[in-house]
Structure 1
C-alpha cells in the first residue's frame, strides 16, 4: 500500500506546480490519478487545494477507501445540493485533466463547481507523475524481477506446433500465478492491450490500430491485437512482448526466441537493435532531448540499411523508440519525433528498437530503464540474447 509520507511528497510536488500556474486547486476523478495521490482506486473525487487539506469524496466503496487512502479527510460523495457547502467559496481556478475526462463528466462537474474556472492540467499532472521516487523505483525493480522470472521459463514450454494462442496462454498463466495483476492501464484514447504479445513469423507483422511497432493478428476483427491461431514454425522468430504489473507498477519487456536458426538478415537486425539500445541507454541522462534521441536511433537504423522497417512494417512505422512507463503504459516522456523536452532523473522509459520484415517476422529488443546521471539503469535485468531452443 502507498505510504502516507510518499503520498504527501507527491501532493506537495503537485501543489508547487499548481501555484506556479496560478491555480487554487486540482480535481482528479480518473481512477489511477486518484490512486497516485491518495493511495486508493475506489470511485472517488480527489480535491487537492494549494492551501489546506486534500479532500476525498467517495462514491463507492467508502469503507474500503477509508482502509486504503492516505488522505485524512474522507467523506461520502455529497448530493448536488450539498456540494457547494462542502467545497467552500475560496476556489476560483481549478485544474482538471481534460485528457481523460469525458465531456459529459466535465459538464457535470462544471455545474457542481459553480463559479469556478476549469483549466487543463493534463500535461502538468503527467510531468509530475513521470518522475519516480525511490519508493516507486523499488516497486518497478520488483516488477522487472518477477516478469523476468517468467520470461526465463519460456524455453521449458516453447516448441514447434504450438499456436501463438497456446504460447500466450501458458505465459500469461505463469505470469498470473506469479502475482501479475494484468491491468495494463493506458491513458491514450482508443488504445487497449491484453497483457502483451506472443507472436511468430509472418503473423507477427500484421498491422493494426495499436500505437506501437507491432500489433499481431489477434483473434478477430473485434480483437485485432496479440496472439492468433497461427502455429509456431521452426526458423521464424518468436516475438514475446509483455508487461509485468505488480503493485500497480508496469514494466515492459521484449525477448526473441527461435526454434532452430534464423535467417542472416534477421540476425543482423537483432544486432542493430542491441546497438541502438546501447546508444540510447548511454544517453538516458537528465537534460537529453527526447526528440534528438529518437532521431539518432532512426539514423542508426537507416545507416544499417533497415530504415524502412524500423519500428513497423514499411509505411506503417511508429515515430518513437521509447515510452514512459509507471502506473500506466504510456506515461511521459516519449522518445519521439516532436517531443522536444529534456529527460529528468527518475523517469522510467521502455526502450524498444524493433524491426518488422513482411513475410518473415519481427525482431528486436525492449527493456525498461530509469534515467540517471550515469545513463539508464536496466530494470528488466535478464540477458538480451535471442534464446534458441
Structure 2
C-alpha cells in the first residue's frame, strides 16, 4: 500500500469518526503516511490534501514526500493559517506526543483541549492489516535475519562472550542489509539489534516487557548481551529483528556449541510443539485471547506452567505481537485482546521455556495470516542451531 492509499484510507476513517483532522508528530507515523521521516508536523484533514511541515531539510522533504505537500516553517504559530479544518474534533497520537510539545501545540494553534480526540489505539488497529507491498518488505526483513543466522555459524566459536557474539550478529545483520535501528512504540523500549543471552542471563528480569532481558555490559544499559563466556555444551538464545525499508521481522533461535544435552533437546522438542500449536491456531476468525488461553492450557498439561515465558518476576502475559513499521504493534496474543485475526495481519509468536539449570530455550518467527491459516515469513530453519 503506497502512502497515498494509506492517507486516503485514513481520511475515510477520520470521516467515519467525525474527526475533522489529525496532527501527527512521531516521525515513524509521518513516514508511514508520507514516505519520508523529514518532517516535524503532519496535518491530515478528513478531506483535502495533507500537509507536512518541516523546519529543516525542506528541499529533501519535497523530493522524498510521496503524497501531500511539504511546507517550510519556523514556528508552530506560522502553520495555523494552513489548518483550515481543525473543526470540532482534532486527532492527536497522545501515546507518541511528548506532554510539553502537546501543550505548546494547543497553545500556539489555539486548540481547546476539549476538542482533542486521542487516536493512539485507533491508529494501532488501523495499521494491523498489511498491504502486499508491506508484507514483501517484512519478508525481506526476515531474509536479513535468515542470512545472518546461517552465516553466524561460521564466525563464532566456544569461549566467546555474549557481547562478542552479539558484535558478530550485528555486523552480519548490517552486512545483509539491516537499516541499523529497530523501532518500537512503547515508552523506554530499547531497540537493540540483537539479544544474545546464555545461562542465568536468559531469565534475568528487565524493566521492559519481555520474558528475558539479560544484564548488558553495564547498568547504564541494563539489558542485552553481557561479558559472560559461552562455553561448549551451553545453550544460548539469539533474538534479532530484521529491518528492511522501515519494516521489521522478529526471529529468535536457540544455538549451542557441540552436542545438545538430552534435557535441552527434550525441552526444545516440547517448546516446538507449543510453537506449532500456536501457529496452527492463528487463522482468520480466531480471537487473540482465545489463542493465548488455549496455548496456556497446553503448556499447563505439558507441565511447563511455571517455566513458560519467564521465571518468577520476569514472566510476561503474552505469546505474540503484531509487527510491521514498529516491532510492538497490534494485535497481541494475550488476555482481554478480543481482536479477530484477518488475512494480511503479521504477527511474531515467541514461546519460550525457562529452566533453572541450563537457562532456557526459545523460538520466535514472524507469520502472515492468510485465507487458509498462517504462513511463516522466512525460510529460517526451526531446529536448534548446533555449531
Would you say how many aligned residue pairs link Structure 1 and Structure 2?
385
Which residue number corresponds to residue 314 of structure 1? 312
Which residue number corresponds to residue 100 of structure 1? 96
In 2, the alpha carbon distance for the partners of 1:354 and 1:81 equals 51
Q: CA deviation at 1:264?
A: 2.9
Q: CA deviation at 1:80?
A: 4.3
Q: Output the aligned Cα RMSD.
A: 1.6
- Residues 1:159 and 1:234: Cα distance change in structure 2 (over 3 Å): same
Which residue number corresponds to residue 27 of structure 1? 23
- Residues 1:74 and 1:308: Cα distance change in structure 2 (over 3 Å): same
In 2, the alpha carbon distance for the partners of 1:72 and 1:106 equals 23
Query: Could you tell me which of 128, 133, 136 is aligned with 2:134?
Result: 136
Query: Could you tell me which of 40, 49, 61 is aligned with 2:57?
Result: 61
Q: CA deviation at 1:90?
A: 5.5
Aligned ranges 1:215-226 → 2 under 5 Å: 215-226=213-224
In 1, the alpha carbon distance for the partners of 2:120 and 2:340 equals 18
Could you tell me the TM-score, scaled by structure 1's length? 0.95
Q: CA deviation at 1:282?
A: 1.8
Query: Could you tell me which of 275, 298, 301 is aligned with 1:300?
Result: 298
Query: Could you tell me which of 35, 40, 45 is aligned with 2:36?
Result: 40
- Say yes or no: does 1:379 pair with 2:380: no
- Say yes or no: does 1:86 pair with 2:82: yes
Query: Could you tell me which of 203, 218, 229 is aligned with 2:227?
Result: 229
Which residue number corresponds to residue 367 of structure 1? 365
SS state of the match for residue 374, structure 1? coil
SS state of the match for residue 251, structure 1? strand
Give a deviation string over 1:313-369, Cα, whole Å, max 9, x none.
Answer: 134211000011111110111111221221222111111110121242120210000
In 1, the alpha carbon distance for the partners of 2:356 and 2:9 equals 47
In 1, the alpha carbon distance for the partners of 2:264 and 2:294 equals 21
Aligned ranges 1:271-310 → 2 under 5 Å: 271-310=269-308
SS state of the match for residue 241, structure 2? strand
- Residues 1:363 and 1:328: Cα distance change in structure 2 (over 3 Å): same
Q: CA contact under 8 A between 1:269 and 1:306: conserved in structure 2?
A: no
Give a deviation string over 1:165-212, Cα, whole Å, max 9, x none.
Answer: 111101111111122112111111121131121122223222111211
SS state of the match for residue 254, structure 1? strand
Aligned ranges 1:239-254 → 2 under 5 Å: 239-254=237-252
Which residue number corresponds to residue 326 of structure 1? 324
Q: CA contact under 8 A between 1:17 and 1:124: conserved in structure 2?
A: no
In 1, the alpha carbon distance for the partners of 2:142 and 2:381 equals 13
- Residues 1:81 and 1:367: Cα distance change in structure 2 (over 3 Å): closer
Q: CA contact under 8 A between 1:197 and 1:239: conserved in structure 2?
A: yes
Which residue number corresponds to residue 46 of structure 2? 50
Q: CA contact under 8 A between 1:370 and 1:376: conserved in structure 2?
A: yes
In 1, the alpha carbon distance for the partners of 2:342 and 2:92 equals 24
In 1, the alpha carbon distance for the partners of 2:76 and 2:318 equals 45
Which residue number corresponds to residue 160 of structure 1? 158
Which residue number corresponds to residue 8 of structure 1? 4
Give every structure 1 segment of 4 or more consecutive aligned residues whose post-TM-superposition deviation is greater than 6 Å: none
Q: CA contact under 8 A between 1:272 and 1:301: conserved in structure 2?
A: no
Query: Could you tell me which of 134, 148, 151 is aligned with 2:149?
Result: 151
- Runs of 5+ consecutive residues of structure 1 not aligned to the other structure: none
